Amino acid sequence: MLVDFEVVRKAQVGDAGAFNLVVTAYRRRIMGTVARMIGRPEDVEDVAQEVFIRLYYSMDQLRSPEVFEPWLYRLTVNASLDYLRKRRRRSESRMADLSEQQVMMADAAAGTRWSEEEAQRAKTREMVDALLSEVSENDRVLLTLKEVEGLSLKELQSIYDVNESALKVRLFRARQRVLKAFARSKDEKAAANAKVRTANSSSGGK
């Protein structure tokens, strides 16, 4: 726990100062989790605020401060899922929805110099984002919590309120789908590289 139970209790009875303390303590963690779940840095703050708004209005439903963290995670999962569903419905042609590569190209055109490290990070983000788009929003969030955030099955159980075997089955299926997409993307990349090599060797021979 990043705050005392007493602070949570005070926030539950409407103490604005205590609520501010809770937000300040968990803001960074929630923003990090949201960033990895939605994969859009520009919308992270907005979704994180939505999490805290939901927290504010549901504090009275919290049974005891001991279950505060799983509760907050559940709100984070729900807000991220809502965002992902809305994003799917939205038009794909907006600048904010362009792929990382396109944004990089746009930035490069604008004269911004990207460091090697940042370019690699952007590539990783784009790749994982593409892989996770192969599964449903629910599975994307579940996989992120397990594989990226490193949450244990027990923690996931308390967030999702389902039994361990059901959770394991869902995780296995989601991972298999992602793995299949990963194999496909590797094959496509290998085929593209082979094509480039063939083109280079034929132009070199002339």
Partner 1 sequence: MARDHSELERELDSLLASYREACPAPEASVGFMPRLWERIEARQNTSWLLKRWTEGFVAAAAAACLMAFLLQVVPDDAHAAVYNATYLEVLAQERSPENSVLLDVAAVAYPDQYSADIGSK
| 44 lies in the site for partner 1, by CB under 8 A | yes
Among 4, 5, 28, 102, indicate the residue that binds partner 1 (CB under 8 A).
Answer: 28
Q: Least distance (Å) from partner 1 to the CB of residue 49?
A: 5
User: Rule CB under 8 A: which of 54-73 touch partner 1?
Assistant: 56-57
Show the binding pattern over residues 140-179: x = contacts partner 1 (CB under 8 A), - = does not: -------xxx-------------------------x--xx
Q: Least distance (Å) from partner 1 to the CB of residue 46?
A: 9
DSSP string, the chain: --S-HHHHHHHHTT-HHHHHHHHHHHHHHHHHHHHHHH--GGGHHHHHHHHHHHHHHHGGG-S-GGGHHHHHHHHHHHHHHHHHHHHHHS-TTSGGGS-HHHHHHHHHHTTPPPPHHHHHHHHHHHHHHHHHTTS-HHHHHHHIIIIIS---HHHHHHHHT--HHHHHHHHHHHHHHHHHHHHHHHHHHHHHHHHHHHHHHHHHH-
Among 2, 9, 15, 29, indicate the residue that binds partner 1 (CB under 8 A).
Answer: 29
| 183 lies in the site for partner 1, by CB under 8 A | yes
